[in-house]
Every structure is written in structure tokens, then in C-alpha cells.
Structure 1
Amino acid sequence: MQKKGLWGTLSEYLVSVLCFGLLVYLDINVVALWRSECNLDERAYLVIFFMNLMLLMVVLLPLISHYVGKINNEKLSAFLGLSPGDEKITYLVFYDFLSGLALSAFYLSVLIYTLKGVFEATDWFITGLYLVVMYIICIYLGVMALIKFIWTFRKLNKVAYGIVALTASAITLSIIDVAMKMVS
């Protein structure tokens, strides 16, 4: 096991400490608003709940990454379909990567489209849980597609890598744009 030193340890937890401070600051201000008898509506409670859960996830990120780091690399590579050697870049490689990214954007679109209905049918707490779970699923799918992207296209030159990245961004943003137009 390699020693990290003081700076390595601090940098690993710096984001978590900053987000924890932001979380405490947010909650202190929310309690101050509540004590001043400021009327917060259901949407405000939903936003506060969502921000608290997401910041809590960032605070717990070092713990999560510790447990994810214990996963066997061969099993993870097999699950993601990462080739150990040089793989030729074919249409199916592009299709696999772009379809994973499109699936992530599609789930995000479903989240955007259904959120208002869920909020109207339930309360802010259930809607907040729905929002966090769906958002984490979207992030997870997008990250898995990007891992596959980086692994596959790491051996290309920077121009080809950039073209593929711009194509992926355009597809993702166009799907999210369609969802935003459906909602409005």
C-alpha cells in the first residue's frame, strides 16, 4: 500500500469537506427561514431536499470510492466489455458508446417529463426520492458510457477523440432539448 502523504489525504477529502460546509450553511439558512415564519411552498422543500441528498452523496464520495475500489478490475472490465488489447474501432464500437449515452439522456428526459406529474400526485418527499434515484441512474449510465468511450478511443489522436466527444455531446444535448420542449 502506497502512502499518500498529508497533501494526498487532504486533497482526497477537500471536496467532501467543502460540500459538507455548504450543506451546513444551506441547512442553517433554511432553518433561519423556517424560524422567521417565512412560508416555504412544496417546491422549495423539494429543492432543499434534493440539494441535501445530492450534497450528502458528494460528502460520502470518498467512502463510496473506497468500496468501489475494492471491486475486482477484471470483473469490472468484463462487465463493461472493455477489451484488454488493441481493439479495432468499428461501427459497433461507436454504436455501443453512443447508445449508452443516448440511454442516459433518454432517462434524464423521462425524469424531466415525469417530474411534474410525480410532484402533483405525491408530496415533496416522495418526489425528492424519485428525483435523486432517477438522477443517480442517469449519471451512472452516462459514466459507464464515458468509461467505455475513454477506454476505446484512448489510442486515437486528439482530433479524432475530440470529434467523437463532440458527436456524443451533440446527441446527448439534442435528446435533452427534445425533453425540455416536451415539458414546456
Structure 2
Amino acid sequence: MSRTKLHLLVPLAALGALVFASLSYAQATVGTFYQQETFTGIESEFVCQPSPIGVVTNTVTESGHFVITDQGVHIRGTAIQDYRIDFADGTYLLSVSPSHFERTATSSVEVFTEAQQDRGTLYSADGQVIGIVSVFTLTHITWRDSNGNGVPDPGEFTSEVSQFRVTCP
């Protein structure tokens, strides 16, 4: 299942506003965040089904902690996707997918790591278990903003690891 990175953008946007407030006081701002969102869409990347396109209903629950100092921002959290994909032939997948992420950002360096384990059950149209679908991802990125423009440019990624494993029934 394709993963949205909203859990990275929403807390960072909120925390970005807080960074400037904490800079003037030279002390740490510590807090938590929580967000839950449900959406429906087309899933076009499901690799364990003869018909790879289905309709997905996904509830994403994100929570975690942040620390803001005059040195930068540190975020650690969990995103849990609880979803169902219905395929045209009547088969469907039920899954819960926890993801753990951590991000540290300073004025010139950003480090992000995320590990996700998705273990779902694929069912036939009549509700019989077809098998287990397992997805594991690991992402690690280190980015050094050498020109100070706040945008990742070619050559600024100093470390990039992406692992993706899928097991189908």
C-alpha cells in the first residue's frame, strides 16, 4: 500500500511556527502531538493481488513527542494505519500497519528515519482466508542544506537508505 507522509508534514508545520518562538527564549519547548484522519481512495500499487487496483479506506492515527530548542527540532512518533482494500473481484485485505519515525532538524542538517511493519490478511470474496501479506519498509535520509535555501537539491543528500520487502500468499 502506498504510504502518505502527512504525519511528517503536519507536525513539522506546526512545530516550525513554534521554533521561532522558542529561539528568543533559548530554552526547550517540549510537547506532544496527536492526529487522526480517515480517508478513502484508489489503491493502485497492491502487488499481491492479480487485480492490483482496489478501493482503500484508511484511518491513520499519529502521535508522538517533540522537543524544540535554539539548536533545532527533534520529533519522535508513531503512525498507525488501520485499513481495508476492496478489490473488483470481491477479495479484500484487512491490515494494521504501525510505523515508527524520528526526525531531527537543525538550520543546516536534517535526519529522518522510519521503520514500518505491515501484516495484513487477504480474504476471498466469500470471507475465506487466502493468506498473509507482509510489508516491511525502512527509510533513512540525511540531508545537508549546503546552500541554505531550505530545499533539498541534487548532491545535498549525504545518506539515503530505502529497504522494501513484500511477502505475498
TM-score (norm 1): 0.24
Higher strand share: 2
Higher helix share: 1
TM-score (norm 2): 0.26
Which has the higher Rg, Structure 1 or Structure 2?
A: 1
